[in-house]
Amino acid sequence: MKQHEKTLKDDPRYRIANREALIGVVLVIINFILWYGFAYGFGSKPVDEYSYVFGLPAWFFYSCILGTVIVLTLVVFAVVFLFKEVPFDEEDEQ
């Protein structure tokens, strides 16, 4: 097969990009589940029954502060251990 006849499916960079995009989508879903679960789990009580962490309502602290720290840690883990360096230039197959 000649160089100009290669299809996009033949390029391994697309397989890597699809895998990394799927990892990104999973991270977004995890972020949403954490945020929603903490915000509506702790925040569904009447206001006079709220508990507080560092002066913030527990639902806000866990969903927005702790959830952000957890997701950032997961993102760093994904970038360091799961993502690959991919060159953008065409490789010659000679």
Is 24's pLDDT higher than 60?
A: yes
Nearest to 34 by CA among 3, 74, 6: 74
* pLDDT number for residue 6: 59
**How is residue 21 written in tokens?**
């995009």
Question: What does the pLDDT average to over 13-20?
Answer: 91
pTM: 0.80
**What pLDDT, on a 0 to 100 scale, did the predictor assign at position 92?**
55
Computed on alpha carbons and rounded to an integer, the radius of gyration of the chain in Å comes to 21
Q: Are 75 and 27 in contact (CB under 8 A)?
A: yes
